[in-house]
Amino acid sequence: MKKVRDLEVRKEDYNDLETYLQNHDLLDHKKCWFAGFDDKTRGQRNAIAANLLSGNKKLDIVTVKENIIYLLRHIKNGFAVYEYASLETKLKVKVYRNFMYPSIEIFNEADEWLQIQAKYNKDKVHELKKLIKSK
């Protein structure tokens, strides 16, 4: 993963993440994004509940802009933006269905593993899977 930049975030920005992402040029016309929490343990099957007390301090955001998948990892007072993968490369993807919050697992070319249980804009998890599979 290549770090692209750091972004500042204010408390109000969490109320409208889509606008926040558009203002920082991280979305295209498809508006494919979702946010959630790291779900690599998969043992407890509920990353949302595990992060209930931390608020948004561990929030991760996945966006797609012009065939590039970006990962935003929460850092102190903002997000670190990473270029995770290109949709043009070979990616492995799997979606785990959960009662309320789907979880997505993606392996990029460098075999870096990303697994997030989506809490916000969760219907876009399946859209991202379709984008990856269509390439």
Taking the chain (135 residues) in runs of 10, the rounded mean pLDDT of each run is 93 92 94 86 57 72 94 92 92 84 87 87 90 78
Q: What is the pLDDT of residue 71?
A: 95
Closest among 128, 123, 93, 125 to 108, alpha carbons compared: 93
pLDDT of residue 52: 62
Q: Give the pLDDT of residue 25.
A: 95
For the chain, the structural domain boundaries read: 2-134
Query: Distances from the Cα of 76 to the Cαs of 12, 59, 69, 91, 94, in angstroms?
Result: 16, 11, 22, 30, 30
For residue 54, the model assigns a pLDDT of 62
Q: What is the DSSP letter of 126?
A: H
Q: Quote the pTM value.
A: 0.88
Residue 7: its pLDDT value, please?
Answer: 95
CATH number of this structure's domain 2-134, picked from the four choices 1.10.287, 2.30.29, 2.60.120, 1.10.10: 2.30.29
